[in-house]
Structure 1
Amino acid sequence: MGSEFFIFAAVGFLAQIVDGALGMAYGVVSSTMLLAFGVSPAYASASAHAAEVFTTAASATSHVSHRNVDWKLFWRLAPAGVVGGVLGAYVLTSIDGAVLRPYVTAYLTLMGGYILYRAFKQPKTQPEPTAAALVPLGVVGGFVDAAGGGGWGPVVTSTLVGSGSAPRYVVGTVNTVEFFLTVAISAAFLVSLLTGHWAEANGLLDHAMAVAGLIVGGLLAAPFAGYVVRKMPARTLMIIVGCLVIVLAGYQTWQLLG
């Protein structure tokens, strides 16, 4: 039990450094590790989001204090993300959310390549997405995050950075929205459990040490996130985001084919 705590504390620390700086990866990394330990997809998502309630709160505080948040973008993404997240949690507790993974993997691979193209080619900046376009993006990102155990950052951050939005404010805003999204998803899992909708929710406490490790590791790393993204050049950040998305998508593809 003790070794499990320290393993997941290390995972949580590294995942949160990446997530806080790039706006993605905490949920994906945490869920992947939980799945590797034999945890079911629904358990993995619920556990990862329970940990993220704490880590995203710390990360959001860091980004707000470093003025990395575009509040107009925040208010456009947050309501849509919450709706999609609650719906995704409901679906995951009803059916196997893994059926969505091949489609998300293909999308992320394309977005990762496009971001790298923009970083090296440096085309003219395109107009930021309209409010109408942000609503479906937020719904899809929230749904995938809940149903797949992670995905809000890869889907939303990749799309916004790929459209020409400033990486610093995209990462800060997406991370700040993620706190409210995570609270909503965790509440949806809890409601499903209490109402009996989630019939296979027995044994959640068996993974309490793993969740505790994710929380502690993430909290230790979160204060550094806002500083890292504030100081990192935009081009460098785009290259890292593009490579990270491709690597994550490639790993998921390898899992599907394995």
Structure 2
Amino acid sequence: MLAFYTFFLGIRILLTAWRKQHSKAKKIGFLAGIGGFLDSFVGGGWGPFVTSTLISKGKTPKYVIGSVSLSEFFVTLSSTLTFFSLLGIHYWKIVFGLVFGGFFAAPLAAKISGKIPLKIMCFSIGILVKIWSIRVLHNCFFNI
């Protein structure tokens, strides 16, 4: 379901790349709740779901990528603490790798996204979102 959704968001992001529309974000808490649920329950989706939705609504990619990456660190941290408290520390190396990687990836993503021109970033994100969606759909339907 997420791959279908992000495929159409990829198309919308590509259309957004050619127009200058920036609107005020609405229902951010609802979007964050769905993204957090997908990330924790399904095992991923915060980044693709939240980032592509915000960019497709015309938000500035530089702001979206940096803020979503930073918030993704806190989502991963809270998931980690929950897993530790419920499952114990049997898989601490994997969890530590996720938290450690997120700690360094968030500021790096914000810094890099601040250097790329807006149209190039929107176009690149739209293409990457579509490629990711097509890959997931292909694996789902043809690698059974």
Q: Distance in 1 between matches of 2:72 and 2:40?
A: 11
For residue 15 of structure 2, the aligned residue among 99, 109, 117 is 117
> Tell me, what secondary structure is at the counterpart of 1:116?
helix
Deviations 1:213-252 (A, max 9, x none): x56x948x74643332111011111111111111111111
Residue 233 of structure 1 corresponds to 117
Residue 251 (structure 1) aligned with residue 115 (structure 2): no
Q: Distance in 2 between matches of 1:136 and 1:119?
A: 25
Q: Distance in 2 between matches of 1:182 and 1:240?
A: 25
For residue 192 of structure 1, report the CA deviation from its aligned partner.
2.4
> What's the % identity of the aligned pairs?
31
8 Å contact from structure 1 (residues 141, 151) kept in 2? yes
* Residues 226 and 129 (structure 1), Cα distance of their counterparts in 2 relative to 1, 3 Å cut: closer
For residue 172 of structure 1, the aligned residue among 60, 66, 70 is 66
Q: How do 1:158-197 residues align onto structure 2 when only pairs under 5 Å count?
A: 158-194=52-88
For residue 204 of structure 1, report the CA deviation from its aligned partner.
3.8
8 Å contact from structure 1 (residues 128, 163) kept in 2? no
Residue 105 (structure 1) aligned with residue 105 (structure 2): no
CA RMSD of aligned residues (A): 2.6
Q: Distance in 2 between matches of 1:104 and 1:141?
A: 10
Q: Distance in 1 between matches of 2:109 and 2:34?
A: 25
For residue 29 of structure 2, the aligned residue among 115, 121, 135 is 135
Deviations 1:29-69 (A, max 9, x none): xxxxxxxxxxxxxxxxxxxxxxxxxxxxxxxxxxxxxxxxx
Residue 77 of structure 1 corresponds to none
**Structure 1: gaps of 5 or more residues:** 1-102, 195-200
Deviations 1:120-149 (A, max 9, x none): 3x1x5152222xx11110011111112232
**Structure 2: gaps of 5 or more residues:** none
Q: Distance in 2 between matches of 1:148 and 1:241?
A: 23
Q: Distance in 2 between matches of 1:225 and 1:159?
A: 18
The aligned amino acid for 1:118 is T
Number of residues of Structure 1 aligned to a counterpart in Structure 2: 139
Q: Distance in 1 between matches of 2:110 and 2:59?
A: 18
Residue 157 of structure 1 corresponds to 51
Structure possessing the higher radius of gyration over alpha carbons: 1
Task: Give the alignment's TM-score, normalised by structure 1.
Answer: 0.48
Q: How do 1:74-113 residues align onto structure 2 when only pairs under 5 Å count?
A: 103-113=1-11
Task: Give the alignment's TM-score, normalised by structure 2.
Answer: 0.82
